[in-house]
Structure 1
Amino acid sequence: MSGTSFAAPVTLCGFEDSIYTKVAMMALAAKPVAFEMQHEDPFEKVGAESHPFGRVPVLKHGDFTVYETGAITRYIERAFEGVCLVPDDAECVARMDQVIAIADNYAYWPMVRQAYAHAVVRKQAGIDWDKALVDVGLAAAEMVLAELDTIAREGHVLNGLRITLADCQLAPMLAAFAQVPKGQELIARHWALNRWLTWISHSRVFRQAVGELR
């Protein structure tokens, strides 16, 4: 049982362009949990003061503070009433955890830090961007998308029926990658994953936490 009152104020420290901050925002929106946003950006001089390693997001619930996105989303699931974001079936939970691990270990870097950060963020800001890095990210993304599509076709998670922590973890990453023209083309080649992204991008949870998918 949580030692923090359910009614205690909730603060999310991060910045809205941060993919992992959006992951936490999706989990909060899915429950739903009202929270205050405290702007902290590790790329600014002030940095992320609430995180000992200078990163985001950080969740504060009353006197309790937790960092690391996986710990935050699991805490949100356990500490607050509302929609259950973890399936009951063992196979579904395993697939959920697998998607989260794939997103963190294989999707985030090529899709977000390489393809999206250079082809979209840096390019639109007029900052020097590296086309070679974009190409590397796109190439690495192909196998990741294929594996995620296999899981979506299986139907335990990413099924367009219910939102789980897997949806919260993956959706902001794929939404960013979809803003890369070639990235959108690659996603569209995988019908089950593309169908799921269309479904999640029209959900209240996604629109509240991430915004409109371009």
Structure 2
Amino acid sequence: MSNLVQLYGPSFSVFVRVAALVCEEKGIAYQTGKEINGQTIDIHSDKHFQLHPFGKMPVLIHGDKILCETASIGRYLDRIFGPETLQGATDWERAQIDQWCSLITQYIDFYVVRQFMLEVVFPKGDSGEPRMDVISANRPAAENAIAIVAEQLGDKPFLVGQQFTLADAMLAPMLTYNKDAPAPINLVNAHPKLLEYTNRLRARPSGQKVLQPMSKSR
């Protein structure tokens, strides 16, 4: 099987960035974008839905294997390109990492990115302006989600335990995007330890490659 991993989806996508971070951490050769094995596949085309039944990203193509859903992709890459380094040293750590991968995917992303930040990134108001009433209405839930992450981090160097894990990879793109966001939606800066953690994630060699501001990653 080829060592090249193909990640279907744009490099600025939050979850494509998660998979790319895993590849960087593991030293895996990879590429991102809409081209798979030399063929361009348009987003939400019939071929895209053949790769992911709900038309989401990323999708991993590795030889003849196709895998969707970000946490599953991360676990697969960590195992196949072993030894495993991103899933904890004990059964309890592994369970906590799985828990936080789920929480980040299902709730943190929803409240902070989908319901809050995207109103500024892709505004839906008249004349292409952000709807400030929507931002105000969704702000408490986004602030609560960020506060939950800050509480979990506490004084630890990483979200779960003492080592960088898949949970940190899942969280890093969301936090760096929020840190770079304008004042109306920037929540990370209100939590000094979370801000320090975000900066450390970006300073990692993998973060320097992947966690660039959106304007530099297109």
- Change in CA separation of 1:70 and 1:173 when aligned onto 2, cut-off 3 Å: same
**Does residue 115 in structure 1 map to residue 116 in structure 2?**
yes
Matched-pair identity in %: 26
Counterpart of 2:159 in 1: which secondary structure? coil
Asked if 2 retains the 8 angstrom alpha-carbon contact of 1:100 and 1:169, the reply is: yes
Q: Give the gaps of 5 or more residues in structure 2.
A: 35-40
Match of 1:13 in 2: 8
Q: Deviations over 1:61-86 (max 9, x none)?
A: 11111111111111111111367111
Counterpart-to-counterpart distance in 1, 2:201 and 2:62: 27
Q: TM-score, with normalisation over the residues of structure 1?
A: 0.82
Structure 1 contact 153–192 (Cα < 8 Å) conserved: yes
Report the CA distance between 1:140 and its aligned residue: 0.6
Alpha-carbon shift at residue 89 of structure 1 (Å): 3.0
- Residues 79-131 of structure 1 show CA distances to partners (whole Å, capped at 9, x for unaligned) of 113671112034433432232222122211221113221113438xx734322
Give 1:26's match in structure 2, choosing from 10, 21, 26: 21
Aligned to 2:87, what secondary structure does the other structure show? coil
Aligned residues, how many? 205
Matches within 5 A, 1:59-208: 59-81=60-82, 84-122=85-123, 127-153=128-154, 155=156, 157-158=158-159, 162-178=163-179, 179-184=181-186, 186-208=187-209
In 2, the alpha carbon distance for the partners of 1:156 and 1:87 equals 14
- Larger mean CA deviation between 89-98 and 153-162 belongs to 153-162
Displacement after TM superposition at 1:154 (Å): 5.3
Aligned partners of 1:116 and 1:180 also within 8 Å: no
Whichever residue aligns with residue 58 of structure 2, its letter is: P
Residues 30 and 205, structure 1, Cα contact 8 Å, conserved in 2: yes
Partner amino acid, structure 1, of 2:85 = C
Pairwise CA RMSD = 2.8
Q: 2: distance between equivalents of 1:182 and 1:99?
A: 27
* Separation of aligned partners in 1, 2:70 and 2:160: 23
AA aligned to 1:137 is: N
Q: Distance in 2 between matches of 1:166 and 1:30?
A: 13
Alpha-carbon separation, structure 1, partners of 2:145 and 2:182? 16
